[in-house]
Amino acid sequence: MKSSKRQLVVGLVLGALILAGNVQAQEKEQPVSDVLDPMIVTATRDEKRDLDIAAATQVFTHQEIVEMGAQTVLEVIENIPDFVVSQSPSGNGLPGLRGITGYLTIMINGIPLANEGYFQLGSIATSGVERVEIVKGGSAVLYGSDATTGVVNIITKKDDANHVSVGAGNNGQLQGGAFVKKSGFSVAVDHYRKENYGTTYKSSSTEYRGEELERTNVNLNYELNEHINLMYLHSQKESESSKYWPDTDTVKGDPWENEQVYDIGQASFTWDDLRVLFYGQSRKWEYVNPSGKQKGRYYGVDIQDKWQFSKLAVTAGGNYDHEKSSRLSGDEWIDNTRDKGALFVLTETDLFSATKLMLGAREVFSDTSDNVFCPQLQILQGFGETGSVYLNVNKSLREPNLSQIYGYSATQVPNEDLDAEIGWTYEIGWKKQITRADMLKLALYHMEIDDRIYSSKTSSGETIYLNASKFKNTGAELSYEHKAPKGLFYGAGLAYMDPKQKAAGSDDWEDTEHQLGMHLNIGYRWLDRGMCSLVVNHNAMRSEDTDPMWDVSLNASLDLSAKDTLRLHINNLLDRDDYISSGGGSVLEARNLLLTYERSF
């Protein structure tokens, strides 16, 4: 890896330390999630209690993220029972929920992450993340394309105790980071590297072994005043993998090298219920063996406001996006662009004293495909302050990637008539807060996706993308959580799915992904002393006769003082080589441990 980049990170950490020394010392904050009905923003674009939201939701707070030992956002959402992912040896992949990869909107502070089909959630460190909110089911009315199975909203950190951290572990693991805030300005810096960390991907004849990985994150926030906030996020990951042939016990060829970089900027203005957010993003992906370069830019504006008319509340707004995607073909960059926008409205009214009706609609405008109208109907019936049932019916879409429309090489035929994929979701659910620390949730759903995009070969051997295939899934999700500021805490989630797809030109439904997912965490917290927990994720009844996956991690922390903490994370405690994705490919990383020391100021 480039030494200049390491020097830059060291300089940033040292600068944060110097700034921290000038900040007045403060006691270490130890917030505890002892209330299981949190305020959630993502589901309605406005703060609401979980019990008042007509959708299946899940929230990972900053404390929970730290206690589970998650280093990246990908490691956070892997703890969702119906999470699925398809990844390449580089770690680039399509995450998804409810039995289908992709079709999931990843957002930074409510703004979709420009992806063009490529996600690098393994490059976004949790050090600069305040919380991660997940809303399952179609969310196209509020967030547009890709929000068919749900949205993952990564909310960046603005406030925390000033601190620095250093860590080390086996496989050459080294970690360093800092968070400092002063006069409305905050910076979170994180750098992580490891080497010789074992097999990461298996194909029919070869394995890819991780030789070196380096990840750098810098997150800046500046609250100019109560109305204006500025945010910048730089996320970069470099990795190198060798190709190994088990049959001959040999390593052949040059290593697979990858570099992915995100630069994201946002400027938000709020005044009462009015919010205006300007944003810009750039993405770069460079890889060697096979070689290629891709990049993209994405900028726009998102506006929303809210009005109250007696018993009727109306939230309305719109957005405009300009997207550019480029790929190097030979010595020439091939550029494609798209302009798109949308108008949306969401209404809420009280039908009866405890019954709410929510109607929403979104009209999507795009210069690469037909306009699409997406409606939504939600009914929520409350039972006192501690229970509710809901009905949620909605239509969603996924626009084709620019590469699928225009092609990026001489061997691909453009198809500018490619339509957006259309999905419908029908869901009913029940939420019950049994005590202040105990929450039970149940959701039953059915979803269908038509006009799925697939690749086909022409008579001359060229690739073309067409609309034809279908997907459907019927499933159930059950979860129970017990949170407490001290003593025993635990949570369990179970998801049963029946995902099936029909290939183009076929009348047969075929199983895809896995049918059973389970998550379990159990731990004990000593107030002002530390905690210890065990986290288990299990996938079974998988497609292509893939063996079940058992992923177990151990996490512990010890408060040496009010300002000093030791943390231990042991990944893949059972040291299994199970496949992460249902149909093979990516595998669990070999068992490793990371010991971190954190000092607050």
Concatenated DSSP letters for 134-199? EEES--HHHH-TTTTSEEEEEEEP-----EEEEEEESTT-EEEEEEEEETTEEEEEEEEEEEEEEE
- Quick one: pLDDT at residue 446? 97
Distances (CA, A) of 498 to 421, 429, 473, 542: 20, 18, 5, 10
More confident residue, 226 or 19: 226
Query: How many CB atoms within 10 Å of residue 248?
Result: 8
**In the chain, % of residues over pLDDT 90:** 50
Is the pLDDT at 348 greater than 80, yes or no? yes
Residue 502, Cα to own-chain centre: how many angstroms? Answer: 27
pLDDT in tens, 515-547: 999 999 999 998 778 999 999 999 999 888 889
Confidence band of 23 (pLDDT split at 50, 70, 90): very low
Question: Residue 409 — very low, low, confident or very high, per pLDDT cuts 50/70/90?
Answer: confident
- Cα distance between residue 361 and residue 376, in whole Å: 6
pLDDT for 81 equals 92
The CA-atom distances, in angstroms, between 252 and each of 9, 199, 247, 317 are 33, 15, 12, 55
In which band, very low, low, confident or very high, does the pLDDT at 401 lie, cut at 50, 70 and 90?
confident
Q: Residue 238: is its pLDDT beyond 60?
A: yes
Find the mean pLDDT for residues 270-299: 87
pTM: 0.88
Residue 324's nearest CA partner among 237, 259, 401 is 401
β pairing state of 463-482 and 412-413: parallel
CA separation for the pair 498, 514 (Å, rounded): 8
Is residue 25 predicted with pLDDT exceeding 70?
A: no
Q: Once rounded to an integer, what is the mean pLDDT over residues 266-273?
A: 94
pLDDT surpasses 70 at 396 = yes
The Cα-based distances of 536 to 22, 337, 361, 555 in angstroms read 42, 43, 39, 11
pLDDT at 413: 86
Q: What percent of the chain has pLDDT over 70?
A: 91
DSSP H or E run through 10 = helix 3-21
Three-state secondary-structure class, residue 122: helix
**pLDDT for position 316:** 94
CA-based torsion, 348, 351, 352, 355: positive or negative: negative
- Provide mean pLDDT across the span 239-253: 87
Across the range 249-259, mean pLDDT stands at: 85
Model pLDDT, residue 119: 66
pLDDT above 70: residue 462? yes
pLDDT at 117: 60
Alpha carbon distance 212, 450 (integer Å): 41
Q: How confident is the model at residue 9 (pLDDT cuts 50, 70, 90)?
A: very low
Q: Residue 558: beta bridge partners?
A: 530, 566
Query: 112-140, pLDDT tens digit by residue?
Result: 886 666 667 788 889 889 999 999 988 77
Confidence band (pLDDT; 50, 70, 90) for 147?
A: confident
Tokens at residue 17, please? 């330390």
Q: Is the pLDDT of residue 10 over 60?
A: no
Find the range with the poorest average confidence among 138-152, 290-304, 570-584: 138-152
Helix H or strand E segment including 358: strand 355-366
Least confident of 2-16, 255-269, 279-293: 2-16
pLDDT at 11: 44
pLDDT band at 398 (very low <50, low <70, confident <90, very high): confident
* pLDDT at 441 > cutoff 80: yes
Of the CA atoms within 13 Å of residue 371, those in its CB half-sphere come to 8
Mean per-residue pLDDT, 208-223:
94
pLDDT of amino acid 256: 85
The pLDDT of residue 516 = 94
Supply the DSSP symbol for 17.
H
Q: Identify the band that residue 246 occupies on the pLDDT scale cut at 50, 70 and 90.
A: confident
Q: What is the pLDDT of residues 92-117, one digit of tens each?
A: 677 888 988 888 888 889 888 866 66
112's enclosing H/E stretch is strand 111-112
Mean pLDDT on 39-47: 72
* Banded pLDDT at 8 (limits 50, 70, 90): very low
Those residues with Cβ within 8 angstroms of residue 370's Cβ, 6 or more apart along the chain or in another chain: 419, 420
Q: Which class for 308: exposed (0-12), middle (13-18), buried (19 or more C-beta within 10 A)?
A: exposed
Q: Is 588 helix (H, G, I), strand (E, B) or coil?
A: coil
DSSP codes, 494-552? EEEE--EEE-TT----EE-SEEEEEEEEEEEEETTTEEEEEEEEEEEEEGGGPPPEEEE
Mean pLDDT over the full length of the chain:
86
